[in-house]
Amino acid sequence: MKKYTKYLFFFSFGMSLTSLFIIEKGYKELYPFASWKLFAVPSGGSLHEERYILYGLKGMDTIKINYITPSPYYDANDKALITDTYGKQIENNIDKEMSRKKLLIFAKDIEPNFEGYLLYKESYNPRLIETKAMKIAKKFIIEL
């Protein structure tokens, strides 16, 4: 494998540049390893991961807001980052009321068809994703 490292480096570099060019033209990412997230936010090596999730209220139903759904202003990573940032501030009582208001504005912007919104914190082990043993612990944080 060591003898191929040099070739893999140049291949990855070339594909990353190609993906960057294609993304700038408005198309989807061609080469998944071009994204900074692979190196900056790895979670496969961790045994515990936490994230904040928004749920929408419609009548008597509670529906999980999907971050993958395209939005004209936010991609999936932006949605998750904004929710996590304000979720942590709300949970840790750091400018809680202002963070709640901002998160409510954000929630209405990405999914305006709900009557209300709930914020939950989910904890799980990323190594168990797609296994029968995977369990997600949910903790209610606040109603927006």
Q: What is the mean pLDDT of residues 13-18?
A: 81
Dihedral over Cα of 76, 66, 82, 103: its sign: positive
Domain ranges of the chain: 2-40, 49-143
Dihedral over Cα of 108, 91, 96, 87: its sign: negative
Q: Two tokens at 5?
A: 């490292």
* C-alpha–C-alpha distance, residues 43 and 50, integer Å: 10
Helix, strand or coil for residue 52?
Answer: strand
The better pLDDT of the pair 133, 29 is held by 133
Q: What is the mean pLDDT of residues 124-134?
A: 80
Closest CA to 91 of 63, 50, 62, 58: 50
Distances (CA, A) of 67 to 1, 54, 78, 79, 107: 37, 9, 9, 6, 11
With a CB cutoff of 8 Å and minimum separation 6, the contacts of 106 are 82, 83, 86
pLDDT in tens, 68-105: 877 778 888 889 889 999 999 999 999 999 999 999 99
Q: Which of 15-19, 42-46, 80-84 has the lowest mean pLDDT?
A: 42-46
Q: Nearest 5°: phi and psi at 139?
A: -130, 125
Q: What is the model's pTM?
A: 0.69
